[in-house]
Structure 1
């Protein structure tokens, strides 16, 4: 589901009025086992108290989204994830309708790459 949503995020960023100021995606996720395949960089949360707070916040989500047989299995620990705008556009953008040219101020709509 994450992989299917990334083209929509890339499309949203190309249309955003301040898209040239957006440098990338950043967040915290507990489902990190395949994130690097999608282009995310993963870093562990080092602060134990903050990690515990995040684990408790993710607990209801993990319980509701898990299969009943797997509720007793340990869940993944939350981690930071990062993806630069360039990686997002290279790997997940679908520019079949329009061609965008990367310029110093960001992406602009154009007729082709020059």
Structure 2
């Protein structure tokens, strides 16, 4: 097996992976169902893009920015004061807040500039 991204590495040989999967499906790794390649787990590829989340909830874009490439690695639901919510404003975090909390929306937007 090979990968284009050199950060994605196989930890075990393919034969070892086939042996782990065969108790669940005896056809895996046979002539009837050969393994022709594997894609290793990747945090980057396993989380949705900002664009995907927005599409799922039918959001309207004010500024799409880098939504096609930014990944949502965690989310937080907050209606706290700005000073108490600051610790949530980290790269990769989806901030879910009431629409009338202009202070949190502005603080979240400004935190990306820091």
* TM-score, normalising length: structure 2: 0.31
Higher normalized contact order (CA 8 Å, seq sep 6+, divided by chain length): 1
Q: Please say which structure displays the higher CA radius of gyration.
A: 2
Greater helix fraction, Structure 1 or Structure 2: 1
Larger proportion of strand: 1
